[in-house]
Structures are given as C-alpha cells and as structure tokens.
Chain A
C-alpha cells in the first residue's frame, strides 16, 4: 500500500525561539504556515539539521503544537543533529518536510488517558488540543521522566486550561516515585475510551504489559507512537521497519514513517520490539 503523502511539502521556516525548559528539554518554535495548517496529532516533520552533509539525514520530530502559523517541537540535544538544532537563533531558516506519518485516531467521547515517558510528551499538546476541539474534556495526562527537571511542565500540555497531569519520576524528585506505568494501573479503573502512549520503545512495552496484566478490558482505542532509526521519512528507503503481528501470527515489518509512527498497540509485536537494540546516537 502506498502512503498518502498528499499534505507533505518542503517548507523553509523561520526560527522564532529555542527555549530551554530545564533538565535538558528544549522547545523549538518555528514559523511554518503550511505545517501549522496541516499537521494532525501524532504526525511528524523531518527537520534538516545544519546545511552540510554531516549529519546527512533529516531528523524526525513530532509536531508538538501549532498556533496560528507557528509550530513547536520538543527535543533534547543528545547527538550531532539535535545539538545543531539547539544552536539555532531567532531568524535562522529551518528546512522542513512535513507533515508525515500516520497520526492518532482522535476519539470524540469518553475519558482518555495520555501516558508519556521522557520525550514522549512531544505529540501530546497537539493531541489534547484536537481532543478538546472534538468535545473531549475528561483528559488525564500521566507524565513520567527520570527526574523532576526532565518533566515537561504540566502547564505546557494545554493553554490556558491545563489538563489534569499526574507525574512520576524514577528518582522520586516529583510526583509518584517509580515508573509512570504505576499510575496507569490506577487510571485504568475509570475504563477510559482511549489510551494514547508515547515514549521510548521499552516504556511502551511496559505500558502494554501493564494493560494486559491489569485484567481490565483493553480500551477500544489503544495507540502508541513508536520510534525507529529513519532514513527518508516518506516510505521509500524502507529503513524504519517495526515488527507487527501478521494475520497468521508471524512477525511482519511495517514502516514507522508511513504505517506509523502511531500504531494500534494490539498489532505491535512487543516481544520483538523489546529485543531491538537501543538508539544509536551519534
């Protein structure tokens, strides 16, 4: 099946600000009228980092939020590409390609739970904004990180009306002391109509395990935004393979960039995902 790239376009944006949020989290704000008008929750843009040939490939980032003609991206400076982005100054041009990918199926009723690990917060402000536009007000955000300074600030998930955000840190410096999946266990008691998850693949595997072990019926909409090393972002290099269960139970590969990044969690072969090596950050 060929991906629908109908909205994707190259667009050179103008950097407005790179805001340091503390704990290494950065928020990049760029004037990108086309992307702002067309991005749906869970879709992403491929950002060119620098103008040279190293790093060569663009980097994929969830569109975190849109406002008028601007878009926000949330990231950490962990490698060559993201360090270049972190060094952008107001007025600098930014070469982008987007929106790309298959985003979240946004429900229009019931209560929803969003669960984030680390940078998994990235697609959620736009998702919350779309949920509210559709009339969903019962939104619980479960936000986990290693330590307090690395938690995406609760008030940034939605403005001006901040949703309910429950926090968890591995070191106990804020909120629940322990993995964010501990909070999910309690939240499932309310029988949410949708659970949306985003974070490192091992965290997503833990979310699925928690859901299954809870004994509660899985919500009708249960989706995760996954990650994979990506070449092009638009379905031609076939580099970003992720394992899903085929009809006969065997593992088949689907592309993170066009079949995902958001996939139904029921379809993903989590055993294979969890066996994949960690990110190769350079």
Chain B
C-alpha cells in the first residue's frame, strides 16, 4: 500500500488513486462547478461535500469570515442528501476518470451506516470518507473526539461496505494519534487529516462573533504548520495510508506533508482563491 513509482497511490481495498493530489471535502462541492473551470480528471481524487441521510439547508449567514491567512466557515453541511447523490449526481460522474470519494457525515452510527449502505451499489463511488470531524453541526465532533466511539462507528460502517473506507480526523482533540490508531484497529483503510480547526472571529464594530453560531472551522495557509504537526503524529501512529490536508497552497506546502509520511494530499481552501491550485500542486510535485 501507499505511493507507487508512477505517482499513483494504492489506498487498499482496490482503490488506487491515479496521483497524489485530490480536492478536499467541502471545497469542491460534488465536482460539477470545478469541472467547468479546470480539467478535473487530471486530479487524483474528488472528496465530495459532506453528505448526510437527509438534505440539509445549512446554517444561516454569514457563513464565512476571512482571517489572517485563512478563513472561518460555518456552512452547516448544506447538501442534497445521500439519495440525491446516489440517484441524481452519480450518473453525472459517469465517464469521469477522477475517483469520487463521497464524504459522509451524520449524528449517529445509524446515519453513517445508512449512507454507506445507499452508496454501496453505486458504481461511480470509488470510496467513502467518514467525516467524524465537522465542527459546525450538533454532534459533528462527537465521534472524532472519542477513540472508542470512533472505533464503534468505523466497525459498523466497515460491516456494510466493501469500498475503501477513509476516516477524516479532527484536529480539535488532545491526542489525534490515539483516534487514528483506534480507527485503524476498527478496519479503516486509510485516514485523512486534518479537518478544520475551531476558530472564532469578533466583529469589532459590535463586539459580537461574526459567525452566528459563534465558532466555525478555520482553514487556509494559516493552519498548514498545525496540520503538518498533526499529520506527522498520525503517520507515526498508524500503518495505513495517511492523506495530508490543511493549508496547502502550492507544491512546496504539499511536499511538506509527503515528507512527514503522507502518501497523498488534498487541496482545500486554496481552490476558492484559484481553482487551478490543485493542478498546479500536481505539476509542481512532478517537477
């Protein structure tokens, strides 16, 4: 398992990414917008928007706030629901060569199991990324903070899917390595790290938090050194492939994650600034 000489990445359970650079969940939707702006099929993977059992309208605005070298978001997992993804979106992925990895979120083990079950027969779905780390919904972080709860969740989903199962870890924990070991033992094929850091911004004219829920998830280049430390700790702790994500803006900031042991990377917030960033990272890593 892991990185191959041709640049492809074997994540296990039959999933080989054509290259190391993917688009991070929550920053690429389901690919349909970016497909109009870039040659999306050159990339190694598309990790979709977090997908839940039922459609979610998302949080009230404002949902984004800019910070030094980054941004806070509190989108609230706006998504069309897993049935719409399976029946309406999947046919539109036919013919795409980029592996589609559906990010799944929920509030209970049953939610995640339901989503994985719905996606299991969908040929266009190459893998599942379990989002146990969303800071912007009630219970979004519960599984990500408790190694035993994370393991129970992974084992339950493992029982219903033959797809490659990636677990996206939260950095908002005391010991990310413990959670990583726990999901590895429970049957995860790979882990991705990290999701956003909990952050807050004050609207200085009013003294109130800019985001209506108070806090949101911090992303962007500001978090790259933090994410790198977390990913290094995860790489030291597990034997399964680790996918690094957090603050990548170019090939150099992506290579840092490979140096600490990640086999692949995801480009996130930088895509908002320049939709071609992931392609530039891919080309830069090949040079």
Residues of B within 8 A of A57 (CB): 66, 71, 272-273
Query: Which one of B37, B61, B64, B70 lies within 8 Å of A234 (CB-CB)?
Result: B37
Complex CA–CA separation, A58 to B64 (angstroms): 13
The 21 sampled A-B contact pairs (Cβ below 8 Å) are: A4-B36, A5-B37, A6-B36, A55-B66, A56-B70, A97-B275, A228-B62, A230-B64, A231-B71, A236-B28, A236-B29, A237-B27, A237-B73, A240-B61, A240-B63, A241-B58, A241-B61, A276-B61, A277-B62, A278-B205, A280-B62
A 219-238 binary contact with B (CB < 8 Å = 1; else 0):
00000000011111111111
Residues of B within 8 A of A97 (CB): 274-275
Given A5-B37, A278-B205, A253:B78 Cβ within 8 A? yes
B83 proximal to A (CB < 8 A): no
Complex CA–CA separation, A54 to B273 (angstroms): 11
Are B69 and A231 interface neighbours, CB within 8 A? no
A242 proximal to B (CB < 8 A): yes
B259 proximal to A (CB < 8 A): no
B-facing residues in A55-100 (Cβ within 8 Å): 55-58, 95, 97
Residues of A within 8 A of B28 (CB): 236
Complex CA–CA separation, A8 to B37 (angstroms): 7
Chain B nearest Cβ from A159, distance in angstroms: 34
B191 proximal to A (CB < 8 A): no
List 16 other contacts, CB 8 Å, given A239-B62, A280-B210: A2-B32, A3-B33, A5-B36, A229-B63, A231-B71, A232-B272, A234-B33, A234-B34, A234-B37, A236-B33, A236-B271, A239-B75, A241-B61, A253-B78, A258-B33, A277-B203
Complex CA–CA separation, A54 to B67 (angstroms): 8
Q: Which B residues fall within an 8 A CB radius of A?
A: 26-29, 32-34, 36-37, 49, 57-66, 68-71, 73, 75, 78, 201, 203-206, 208, 210, 220-222, 249, 269, 271-276
Residues of B within 8 A of A278 (CB): 205
Complex CA–CA separation, A97 to B73 (angstroms): 22
Complex CA–CA separation, A8 to B35 (angstroms): 12
Complex CA–CA separation, A146 to B169 (angstroms): 50
Are B64 and A231 interface neighbours, CB within 8 A? yes
Complex CA–CA separation, A230 to B66 (angstroms): 9
Are B69 and A53 interface neighbours, CB within 8 A? yes
Are B272 and A237 interface neighbours, CB within 8 A? yes
Residues of A within 8 A of B26 (CB): 237
B-facing residues in A79-136 (Cβ within 8 Å): 95, 97
Chain B nearest Cβ from A87, distance in angstroms: 19
For chain B, what secondary structure do more than half of its interface residues adopt (helix, strand, loop), or is it mixed? loop
Are B61 and A231 interface neighbours, CB within 8 A? no
Residues of B within 8 A of A237 (CB): 26-27, 64, 73, 75, 272
Complex CA–CA separation, A9 to B26 (angstroms): 22
* 6 nearest A-B residue pairs (beta carbon): A239-B64, A232-B272, A5-B36, A2-B32, A236-B29, A235-B33
Are A2 and B33 interface neighbours, CB within 8 A? yes
Residues of A within 8 A of B69 (CB): 53-54, 56
- The CB with the most chain A CB atoms within 10 A, among B33, B210, B275, is that of B33
A216 proximal to B (CB < 8 A): no
Residues of B within 8 A of A235 (CB): 29, 33
Q: Which A residues fall within an 8 A CB radius of B?
A: 2-6, 8-10, 48, 53-58, 95, 97, 228-242, 252-253, 258, 276-278, 280, 282
Chain A nearest Cβ from B274, distance in angstroms: 7
Complex CA–CA separation, A238 to B75 (angstroms): 7
Complex CA–CA separation, A238 to B79 (angstroms): 10
Residues of A within 8 A of B61 (CB): 228-229, 240-242, 253, 276
Query: Which one of B36, B204, B249, B273 lies within 8 Å of A58 (CB-CB)?
Result: B273
Given A228-B62, A241-B60, A253-B57, A10:B274 Cβ within 8 A? yes
- The CB with the most chain A CB atoms within 10 A, among B57, B63, B220, is that of B63
Complex CA–CA separation, A6 to B32 (angstroms): 12
Given A5-B33, A236-B29, A277-B208, A56:B275 Cβ within 8 A? no
Complex CA–CA separation, A236 to B271 (angstroms): 9
Are A282 and B78 interface neighbours, CB within 8 A? no
Complex CA–CA separation, A234 to B33 (angstroms): 7
- Of chain B, the residue at the smallest CB distance from A272 is B60
Complex CA–CA separation, A69 to B26 (angstroms): 36
Are B62 and A231 interface neighbours, CB within 8 A? no
Are B64 and A240 interface neighbours, CB within 8 A? yes
Chain A nearest Cβ from B89, distance in angstroms: 10
Are B34 and A236 interface neighbours, CB within 8 A? yes
Are B36 and A229 interface neighbours, CB within 8 A? no
Complex CA–CA separation, A6 to B35 (angstroms): 10
Residues of B within 8 A of A241 (CB): 58-61, 63, 78
- Of chain A, the residue at the smallest CB distance from B268 is A237
Are A53 and B249 interface neighbours, CB within 8 A? yes
Are B275 and A48 interface neighbours, CB within 8 A? no
- The CB with the most chain B CB atoms within 10 A, among A10, A55, A232, is that of A232
Complex CA–CA separation, A234 to B29 (angstroms): 10
Complex CA–CA separation, A282 to B78 (angstroms): 27
- Of chain A, the residue at the smallest CB distance from B64 is A239
